[in-house]
Structure 1
Amino acid sequence: MTLAEKAYLSLRNDIVRGDLKPGGALKMADLSARYDMGFSPLREALSRLQGERLVISESLRGFRVSELSLAEFEDALRTRLVIETEALRLSLRLGGDDWAAQLVAATYALKLQAERSGGDIWELETRHHAFHRALLSACGSRWMLDFFEQLYMATDRYRLPVLVGGAGGGGRDLVAEHAALADAALARDETLANRLLVQHYEATAATIRARHGA
């Protein structure tokens, strides 16, 4: 992994998790000390994050973490549903035994972590991302998977504070939701799988809207 890639992943994770606060200035000297690396890989990482709308650049003022906005979340969610429902259809049509085995493994790993008492919430999030990536991984489109990654992070900025605050479930059985989605996908039921995917995201969106007073 290059220094620029390491800088990008570190910055992106800290922005998505809220360790770098929305609207906060991203001063090069501070970032260099925080991540123990030079300015060049950090600038490259910040430019990449700007393209993903996680960072904004202000003339004469440098970089800043993008603000949170319910309108921005709704836009990202609508776009995510367009991309992922089509990617899921393709994955169900094109996915072979390797894809199915990967999805089964990701589902089981997510279930194990979700059911662990006092488990690491960030390990849970890692496995949650792996599940949704596995679901779409056989779509045959690098563009779709790249958009999936960008939109996953864009919406996770809103979901993670709810998860960390302990309100992520809202009375839902999230293990059962993911298991049902995996079962529908493995049965190659495109209609049911896509309906469950949309319901899954809309249920989370309802919690986020309530948190933001919508």
Structure 2
Amino acid sequence: MSIAMQALRFSQDHVEGETVGDGAYRRIRADIVSGKLRPLERLKLEQLREAYSVSVTTLREILTRLAAEDLVTAEGQRGFRVAPVSLADLKGLAELRTLLEVHALRLSLANGDLDWQGQVVSAHYKLSVVEQDLLSNDLRTVAQWVEHDWGFHHATIAACATEPLMRMHAAVFDRYMRYHMLVLDFRGKPAADDHERLRDLVLERKTEAAVDLLTRHIGAGLERMLQSGKIPE
């Protein structure tokens, strides 16, 4: 998936020029991340064929691809299941996300131009609108928040100009945000304030302050999920 397409990875909308297989891949991955397809749920090919309107052959290719991303597990002749979740996995993903995103942010701040700054502002505006709804206790918008939280964090690092790094970060982010959806929780005003402050630090090119805030932001989100009691050992 190209860097441009990565920005749409949580969207369920049709993308012009996208193949049927790529569209189904993106929708199935989004349904796993959102929790619509639950951990350890058996992925029956005939049911998926009807739900996503693609052939069984294409589905096998998609599920094999998702297995390589650790969102699905292959069980030999028994087929596929949605990957399990655990506290150890969540902690490892948080550490890896921090490592990748901090490095990408440093590169982005060094390389970003005026167009990139505009994209950061636009992505934050969309996120802030959803966060205001969440602050009004409308948890129905948590799924939208996942999409726009990704959009904002992706925008801040999009100028790093290192596609392998962006692909790896996006794959880790998918798996990390899956836990947010399982907990179905929003950290509230502190998270929204972090995003606003991160936007400002990025626009001001204050690299060390931005990196410090991002690290604390991810850590606070992790702690909130660990304290929820909803993630199995």
TM-score by length of 1: 0.92
Q: In structure 1, how many angstroms separate the alpha carbons of the residues matched to 2:20 and 2:64? A: 14
Query: Given the alignment, which residue of 179, 183, 186 partners 1:168?
Result: 186
What are the superposed Cα offsets for residues 155-213 of structure 1, whole Å, 9 maximum, x if unpaired? 01111223x3xx321x5432211010111111111111011101111101001111238
- Check conservation: 1:3, 1:41, Cα contact below 8 A: no
- 1:10 deviates by 1.3
1:68 is the counterpart of 2:89 = no
**Partner letter of residue 131 of structure 1?**
F
What are the superposed Cα offsets for residues 29-68 of structure 1, whole Å, 9 maximum, x if unpaired? 1111222221122111111101100001112211111100
TM-score by length of 2: 0.85
Greater CA drift, 171-180 or 200-209: 171-180
Task: Mark the runs of 5 or more structure 1 residues left unpaired by the alignment.
Answer: none
Higher relative contact order (CA 8 A, sep 6+): 2
- 1:127 deviates by 1.5
Matched residue, 1:179 = 196
Q: In structure 1, how many angstroms separate the alpha carbons of the residues matched to 2:78 and 2:194? A: 45
Query: Given the alignment, which residue of 73, 92, 102 partners 1:85?
Result: 102
SS at 1:60 equivalent: helix
SS at 1:53 equivalent: coil
Task: Mark the runs of 5 or more structure 2 residues left unpaired by the alignment.
Answer: 1-17
- Check conservation: 1:15, 1:65, Cα contact below 8 A: yes
1:189 is the counterpart of 2:206 = yes
1:46 is the counterpart of 2:63 = yes
Query: Given the alignment, which residue of 125, 128, 134 partners 1:108?
Result: 125
What are the superposed Cα offsets for residues 74-122 of structure 1, whole Å, 9 maximum, x if unpaired? 1111111111111000000000101111101111121122213547333
Matched residue, 1:19 = 36
- Check conservation: 1:24, 1:65, Cα contact below 8 A: yes
How many residues are treated as equivalent by the alignment?
210
- Check conservation: 1:80, 1:151, Cα contact below 8 A: yes
- 1:2 deviates by 1.1
Q: In structure 2, how many angstroms separate the alpha carbons of the residues matched to 1:130 and 1:176? A: 17
Matched residue, 1:136 = 157
State, as a whole percentage, how many aligned pairs show the same letter. 32
